[in-house]
Amino acid sequence: MRIYQIVAKETLRRRRRVLYTALGVAAGVAAVVAVLTVARAGEKKIYGELEKYGPNLMITPAIQNIGLQLGDLSLGTLAVGDNYIAEDKVPEIRRIADGAIREALGIEDGADIATIAPKLYVNTTVKEASVMVVGFEPKQEQAIKTWWMISRGSYPEQQNEAVLGARASAILEIDVGDSIPIEGQEVVVVGILGETGSNDDYQIFIPLKTAQSAFGKEGLISSMDIRALCSACPVEVIAGLVNESISGVRAVAVRQIAESEMNLMAKVNRFMLALAGITLVVGSFGVVNTMMSAVHERIKDIGIMKAVGASPSQIVRMFLYEAVVIGLIGGIFGYIAGTLLSYGIGPLIFEDLAVSYALQYLLPAIGLAIFVAIVASLYPAMRASNIRVADSIRSL
């Protein structure tokens, strides 16, 4: 009888114990697969957002947060600085942005290059519900947010027209053609945005001048988005020049925000993988225990095999083949369990994260499980190879 036939026979005879041992390995593999799958989906989402926003910058008021403490007790933070940006700073910001782009790309044309979309955010009450009203420049905002789609109606063209996010329209029960009182001014809803999966879904958008007049914020904006001309445009350089030249504002490139998120995600992934590694180590002890039990149970069989000419290396191979079977089962179950787990924990870590199975992790999962099982089986296999025929006779 060949070694693989012996292994198959013993695996079927002790199939329950083999399954339980494989599940111990599968738990660690599942944790690894889940972490990698969620990380892959998270990176895809971040890069998708980066690609969607393109070479953008965001400019906000330069507000600083000062930590308040009483001894070692933290009392939160205090925001210091203006909450608004003077609108007269927009031409200076445009001069810096367009100048940097012209220099980088060798453009001689003196026309406006970058798209600048200023916004004013104000909380108000509509139909006894607290909502965010956003004053915006419709054409510039549409150029920035190319993914915006009007599901019903049209885009605003007049100062007394508004467009609502999809969720705001449903919650407030306001549709195209309805009028909304905004601080005493009537605006007519001319369009409803399609679902974007962002805060835009819950906001009311009205022209910037209308918002400034209604809320007494003439000449003020809350932030502005800048879309450069191309993906190669020096957005980080523009952000640095704005921060150096204009006081009271803070410019940051969207790409820098994405890199910060990626760095944070990498740290979380390393921590989660460390936990998964501990789970794998615990599972490997189960393999060691199972293999040691198999050695003690089969002392007589091993002695007989040696008596008829089996070499120590053949005994070792027999146990290692069993480890491969355990690893194969554990890897398959671990991949399936890890994929299912990622569907559950993915949306908890990243809101609205679309997780999809990663078939490329199947073979690495099986390979990892087999590796762990083989390493855990080496000591029991060596113990089995050192059993003498006399020891097996005494065990009768």
Exposed / middle / buried, residue 3 (Cβ in 10 Å: 0-12, 13-18, 19+): middle
pLDDT tens, position by position, 166-200:
999 999 999 999 999 988 889 999 999 998 878 89
Picking from 220, 253, 286, the residue at the C-terminal end of a domain is: 253
Contact indicator for 346, 38 with CB cutoff of 8 Å? yes
* 55, part of any domain: no
State whether 174 and 300 are in the same domain: no
Segment 215-244 shows an average pLDDT of 82
Query: Which of 11-25, 135-149, 159-173 is the least confident region?
Result: 11-25
**3-class DSSP state of 118:** strand
State whether 272 and 310 are in the same domain: yes
Stated pTM of the model: 0.59
Q: How many domains does the chain have?
A: 2
Picking from 253, 278, 293, the residue at the C-terminal end of a domain is: 253
Q: What is the pLDDT of residue 188?
A: 94
pLDDT tens, position by position, 118-134:
999 999 998 888 999 99
pLDDT tens, position by position, 215-224:
999 999 999 9
Q: What is the pLDDT of residue 290?
A: 73
State whether 41 and 80 are in the same domain: no
State whether 122 and 239 are in the same domain: yes
Inter-CA distances, 238 with 56, 119, 145, Å:
10, 20, 20
* 344, part of any domain: yes
State whether 46 and 138 are in the same domain: no
Contact indicator for 11, 18 with CB cutoff of 8 Å? yes
State whether 224 and 128 are in the same domain: yes
Picking from 206, 224, 253, the residue at the C-terminal end of a domain is: 253
Q: What is the 3-state secondary structure (H, E, C) of 2-34?
A: CHHHHHHHHHHHCHHHHHHHHHHHHHHHHHHHH
Say if residue 298's pLDDT is above 80: no
Highest mean pLDDT among 23-37, 118-132, 239-253 belongs to 118-132
Q: How many residues does the chain have?
A: 396
Contact indicator for 387, 306 with CB cutoff of 8 Å? yes
State whether 183 and 122 are in the same domain: yes
Segment 20-29 shows an average pLDDT of 83
Q: What is the pLDDT of residue 48?
A: 63
pLDDT tens, position by position, 38-94:
877 877 776 666 555 554 788 888 876 656 555 555 545 555 556 899 999 999 999
The confidence band for 1, taking pLDDT boundaries of 50, 70 and 90, is low
**3-class DSSP state of 252:** strand
Pairing of strands 161-164, 185-193: parallel
Q: Provide the domain limits for residue 10.
A: 3-50+260-394
Backbone φ and ψ for 316, nearest 5 degrees, come out as -60, -45
State whether 105 and 37 are in the same domain: no
Residues linked to residue 11 through DSSP beta bridges, in sequence order: none
* 56, part of any domain: no
State whether 290 and 334 are in the same domain: yes
CA nearest to 366, candidates 33, 36, 4: 33
Q: What is the pLDDT of residue 173?
A: 92
State whether 223 and 324 are in the same domain: no
Could you give the CA distance from residue 27 to residue 280 in angstroms, rounded to a whole number? 7
Q: What is the pLDDT of residue 257?
A: 59
Q: What is the pLDDT of residue 356?
A: 78
State whether 171 and 307 are in the same domain: no
State whether 382 and 246 are in the same domain: no
Contact indicator for 185, 213 with CB cutoff of 8 Å? yes
